[in-house]
């Protein structure tokens, strides 16, 4: 097997497929991509709901945005993008507010009509309760940035649900800043480019893999030695780009890295529109889920049934070993383990670790693609000579 391919890519998410496409298209290399799931695309995979026909993002909403011109030029080779602009709202105390916190949020919350300068002064006076240079946890950090009233309404309980931990027990470094806009702009992202793939994520992903030198094998576990495409058989014999969990690669010899995972609950409702927007956050503790996605709103340009809609509630918790990992917890103990794994990785012959799981970093899609393009240019091209 090792003689028929020049490179094995473990994982068919955006990082792995970008590597595969570049090595095949630019270097003429034969690439085998394997994935333990029964579909390509990693967490970006989308599918048509059988009952409504609405495109659903199986692993939670994926919104493409970037300010990187190289990434934008690259992704446009495989898909056109809609003009979708992502906006988020949150329900608190039985009332809906726009996010991120902006002039509209502030005036609605305080029942005021402040202009930008007065709103800045108000937030600054409330934030002065805690000295930002002397904070001990996430709660104190957040209050030092936006003040206690806004923190308790929109950040405290939502963060506790996300992390299953009180913000007073979370490290301050989890939040470096909390954006507050002193305008009525409630666009969620500030990037130069934003949109959704016109034909959906799976069509985009399939085009990346559609090259005569790329073979994709699904339901293939890199650690399953009962089948031929496995770690023991390949390492040292063929170059490998590995995008799975870095601790799993080394059989957890330096300890397990902590992740948060997400659970999703889908429901088809007999109405044409449930919430009037694509994503609604739920900021209060008594609501067990963090947000609800309603996928018809991601593609308003498409025809959708007038009498049915599909929603998906999202729940957050700490991941067990068999769960799908999403967000690195990244405690000091995790960072210590990660440094140990990086040392081990340096000793692996022609094995390149990349992607969200392989680097223990939360990477948005554009960041994963950018990171893969960088690995291709700086490591794989020179290695293949």
Angle at the Cα of 260 from the Cα atoms of 259 and 263, rounded to 5 degrees: 140
Q: What is the pLDDT of residue 2?
A: 47
Q: Give me the catalytic one of 111, 177, 251, 303.
A: 177
Q: What is the pLDDT of residue 7?
A: 98
Q: Give me the catalytic one of 121, 131, 362, 377.
A: 362
d(CA 246, CA 248): 5
Q: What is the pLDDT of residue 3?
A: 56
Q: What is the pLDDT of residue 332?
A: 85
The residue ranges of DSSP E strands in 67-224, in sequence order, are 88-92, 95-99, 193-195, 214-217
- Is 314 in the active site? yes
Query: Omega before 100 cis (within 30°)?
Result: yes
- Is 181 in the active site? yes
Question: Which phi and psi angles does 233 have, rounded to 5°?
Answer: -75, -20
d(CA 25, CA 183): 46
219 by DSSP, 3-state: which? Answer: coil
Torsion of CA 266, 271, 276, 280, to 10 degrees: -30
Q: Give me the catalytic one of 22, 248, 254, 291.
A: 291
Q: Give me the catalytic one of 191, 221, 284, 364.
A: 364
Q: Give me the catalytic one of 181, 254, 296, 356.
A: 181
Query: Omega before 196 cis (within 30°)?
Result: no
For the chain, the 3-state helix, strand and coil shares in percent, each to the nearest 5, are: 35, 20, 45
pLDDT less than 70: residues of the chain: 1-3
d(CA 364, CA 356): 9
Task: Give the distance from CA 154 to its chain's centroid.
Answer: 21
- Is 302 in the active site? no
Output the furthest CA–CA distance in the chain (Å, rounded): 71
Q: Which residues pair with 312 in a beta bridge?
A: 266, 293
Structure-block tokens of residue 329? 């917890």
Q: Give me the catalytic one of 55, 314, 356, 360.
A: 314
Residue 179: other Cβ atoms inside 10 A: 12
- Alpha carbon separation from 275 to 84, 352, 385 (Å, rounded): 17, 44, 54
């Amino acid at each position: 097997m090792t003689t028929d391919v020049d490179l094995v890519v473990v994982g068919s998410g955006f990082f792995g497929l970008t590597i595969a496409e570049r090595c095949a298209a630019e270097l003429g290399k034969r690439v085998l991509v394997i994935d333990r799931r029964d579909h390509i695309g990693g967490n970006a995979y989308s599918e048509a709901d059988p009952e409504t026909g609405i495109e659903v993002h199986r692993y939670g909403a994926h919104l493409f945005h970037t300010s990187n011109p190289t990434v934008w030029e690259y992704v446009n080779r495989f898909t056109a993008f809609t003009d979708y602009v992502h906006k988020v709202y949150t329900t608190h105390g039985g009332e809906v507010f726009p996010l991120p916190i902006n002039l509209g949020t502030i005036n609605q919350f305080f029942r005021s009509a402040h202009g930008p300068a007065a709103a800045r002064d108000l937030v600054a006076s409330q934030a002065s309760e805690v000295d930002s240079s002397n904070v001990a946890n996430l709660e104190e950090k957040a209050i030092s940035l936006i003040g206690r009233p806004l923190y308790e309404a929109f950040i405290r309980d939502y963060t506790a649900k996300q992390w299953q931990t009180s913000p007073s027990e979370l490290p301050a470094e989890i939040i470096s800043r909390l954006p507050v806009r002193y305008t009525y702009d409630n666009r969620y992202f500030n990037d130069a480019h934003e949109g959704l793939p016109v034909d959906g994520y799976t069509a985009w992903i399939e085009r990346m893999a559609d090259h005569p030198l790329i073979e994709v094998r699904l339901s293939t576990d890199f650690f399953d030695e009962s089948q031929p495409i496995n770690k023991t058989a390949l390492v040292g014999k063929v170059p490998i780009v590995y995008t799975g969990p870095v601790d799993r690669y080394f059989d957890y010899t330096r300890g397990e890295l902590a992740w948060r995972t997400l659970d999703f609950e889908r429901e088809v409702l007999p109405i044409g529109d449930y919430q009037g927007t694509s994503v609604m956050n739920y900021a209060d503790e008594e609501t067990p889920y963090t947000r609800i996605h309603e996928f018809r709103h991601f593609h308003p340009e498409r025809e959708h049934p007038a009498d049915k809609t599909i929603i998906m509630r999202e729940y957050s918790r700490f991941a067990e070993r068999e769960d799908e990992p999403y967000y690195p917890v990244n405690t000091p103990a995790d960072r210590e383990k990660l440094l140990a794994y990086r040392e081990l990785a340096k000793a692996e012959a022609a094995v390149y670790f990349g992607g969200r799981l392989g680097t223990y970093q939360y990477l948005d899609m554009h960041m994963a693609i950018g990171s893969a393009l960088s690995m291709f240019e700086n490591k794989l091209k020179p290695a293949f000579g």
